[in-house]
Amino acid sequence: MKLKATPLPGVVIVEPTAFGDDRGWFMESFQEERWQKGLKDLGLPPSRRFVQDNHSCSQAGVLRGLHYQLPPHPQGKLVRVVRGAAFDVAVDIRAGSPSFGQWFGIELNAHNRLQLWIPEGFAHGFLALQDDTHFLYKTTDVYAKDCERSIRWDDPAIGIQWPASGITPRLALKDAEAQLLAGAECSAQATNVGGESKDSHQPPSSV
């Protein structure tokens, strides 16, 4: 696997290596030692061990997020799409962070096989771009309902450029009624996320 820094400090793109022939292909989707070494090589702290795997299926236009969990159960997430396609977004919500409120977005799909690492202290969401989109993610902590929070997907203070121009996303009630960032409970700033922030919101990147 190859880890690449994004414009949003701490958020990382993971490019697995696939080996294929006329029978099909094989790839190693995760390997602990290579994963931790890749983070270290980027100047990032090690992640906590992953303790839970989740799998969701969404129809085109479904938007899930922006989700996060507060301490004592903050979640880092390593996410990927194994069927269909999704526009995946991370937002820095660490109080006091130089990149607070900034975001990064990328298309994850079954063909590019990319993964995105969203550290603890970041909110996460995605928009399904195709029907029957299967989204898999590993988390560094278990689901804890009392710690679960949501931020509005269309908060103008964040300004995410979702690719569904003119389309009203399909939302769960908790996401439709989510807080704006200005009124949300946010995590304390994590240390050593790597790199310095830029002053403006990060533009989306599509692969």
The predicted-structure confidence for 80-94, as pLDDT tens digits, reads as follows 999 999 999 999 999
Question: Distance between CA 62 and CA 45 in Å, rounded?
Answer: 33
Of the listed 67, 68, 124, 201, which one is catalytic?
A: 67
Q: Taken in order 175, 178, 182, 185, is the CA torsion positive or negative?
A: negative
Which pLDDT belongs to residue 188? 65
Q: Which helix (H) or strand (E) holds 160?
A: none
* pLDDT of residue 194 exceeding 90: no
Residue 47: DSSP 8-state: P
137 is catalytic: yes
Q: How many residues does the chain have?
A: 207
Tell me the domains of the chain and their CATH numbers: 50-188 (2.60.120.10)
Report how far residue 76's alpha carbon sits from residue 103's, in angstroms, rounded to the nearest whole number: 16
What pTM was estimated for this model as a whole? 0.88
Dihedral (CA of 9, 12, 13, 18) sign: positive
- Whether the predicted pLDDT of 196 surpasses 60: no
